[in-house]
Amino acid sequence: APWRSSARTIGAMAEAWIPLKFRLNGQERSAEVAPSDLLIDFLRDRLNLTGTKRSCDIEICGACTVLLDGKAVSSCSVFAFEIDGKNVLTIEGLAGADGLHPLQRAFIECGGFQCGFCTPGMIMLAKSLLDENPDPGVDEIKDYMDANICRCTGYQMIVESIQRAGSILRAEKK
């Protein structure tokens, strides 16, 4: 039956390694991954970048958010091979040589986290928001950030953190 042969094909694929070239946090990298490897496991287990956090596993909570060519994605629901030829930014790549990114500073100053487990994903999503819209209103922040869940803060202080970061970034550009 046809489904049998396709199952065999997938089985055979599982043995094959896929070579990748990608840019990770500003550095050119290459690796080989199995077809079924998820990006989150590749980052956390293979590259030891454990700042990206695992929580719901089904693209609901956003704890594992990373930027892929500048776009926020849930790394629990992206295959590792999908980063081939792309630019990956994780929380570890956000701080510059001159210190913390304005979002990181603002999250500390405005109480934008408590346990900190949602924080890397939250900050990466907020970066994507501020890249698209440097001066978002409160409703725009709530709409955009609705993709991620925080269980500690009650959200208000995250909204304020993003507003603060936005104003720091706008002042820096002037």
Partner 1 sequence: MGSAVGENVSRIDGADKVTGRGVYASDVKLAGMLHARILRSPVAHARVRRIDAARAAALPGVAAVLTKDNLRVAAPHYGAYIKDQPIVALEKVRYVGDIVAAVAATDEKIAEKALREIDVEYEELPALFEVDEALAAAAPVIHDENPARKDPKYGYGASLTRHDGTNIFYHFHYERGDVEHGFREADRVFEETYYLAGAQHYPMESHACVADFQGDQITVWSGTQTPFPLRQEIARMFGLPFSRVRVIVPYVGGGYGAKSGVKYEALAVTLSQLAKRPVRVNLSAEETFKTLCDPSARVTIKTGVKNDGTFVARRCEVYFNGGAYANSGPTVTERAGYRAHGPYKIPHVKTDAYCVYTNTVPGGAFRGFGGPQVSFAYESQLDTIAHGLEIDPVDLRLKNLLGKGELYTAGNIPIDCDLKSELKQVARAIGWGEKSAASEKPGVKRGKGIACAVKDGGGVNKEANALVQILMDGSAMLFTGSVEIGQGVRTALMQIAAEELALAPERIQVAPLDSHTTPFDRGTHASSAITVMGQAVQAAARDARAQLLAAAASVLGVPAASLKLHDGQITAGENRAAIAEVMRRHFGDLEGEITGRGRFKVERRDDAPLGYPATFWENGLAAAEVEVDEKTGAITIVNYVSMTDAGKMINPLHCRGQEEGSVMFGLGHALYEELAYRDGQLANSNLMDYRLPRFRDLPRSSHSIILEEAGGSGPFRAKGIGEGGTLAAAAALCNAVYDATGVRIYRVPLTGQTVWTACAEKPAPQKKGA
Smaller CB distance to partner 1: residue 18 or 34? 34
Q: How far apart (Å, rounded) are the C-alpha atoms in residues 154 and 144?
A: 16
Residues 6+ apart with CB under 8 A from 40: 52, 54, 64, 75, 76, 78
Binding site for partner 1 (CB under 8 A): 44, 48-58, 60-61, 63, 90-92, 94-95, 100, 103-104, 107-111, 113-120, 123, 141-143, 145-146, 148-159
Instruction: Return the structure tokens found at 107.
Output: 């999250």
By beta-carbon proximity to partner 1, the closer residue of 31 and 123 is 123
Question: In the complex with partner 1, which residue's Cβ is closer, 130 or 145?
Answer: 145
Tell me if 51 sits within 8 A of 120, measured CB to CB.
Answer: yes
Residue number with CB closer to partner 1 (6 or 156): 156
Other Cβ atoms closer than 10 A to 144 = 19
Q: How far apart are CA 21 and CA 1, in angstroms?
A: 37
Shortest separation between residue 112's beta carbon and partner 1, angstroms: 8
In angstroms, give the least distance from the CB of 23 to partner 1.
Answer: 18
- Region for 133 from its dihedrals, namely left if φ exceeds 0, alpha if ψ lies in -120 to 50, beta otherwise: beta
CB of 83 to partner 1, least distance (A): 18
CB of 166 to partner 1, least distance (A): 16
> Minimum Å distance from CB 33 to partner 1?
14
Closer residue to partner 1, CB minimum distance, 2 or 133: 133
Cβ neighbours for 22, distance < 8 A, ≥ 6 positions apart: 28, 29, 30, 31, 83, 84, 85, 86, 87, 88
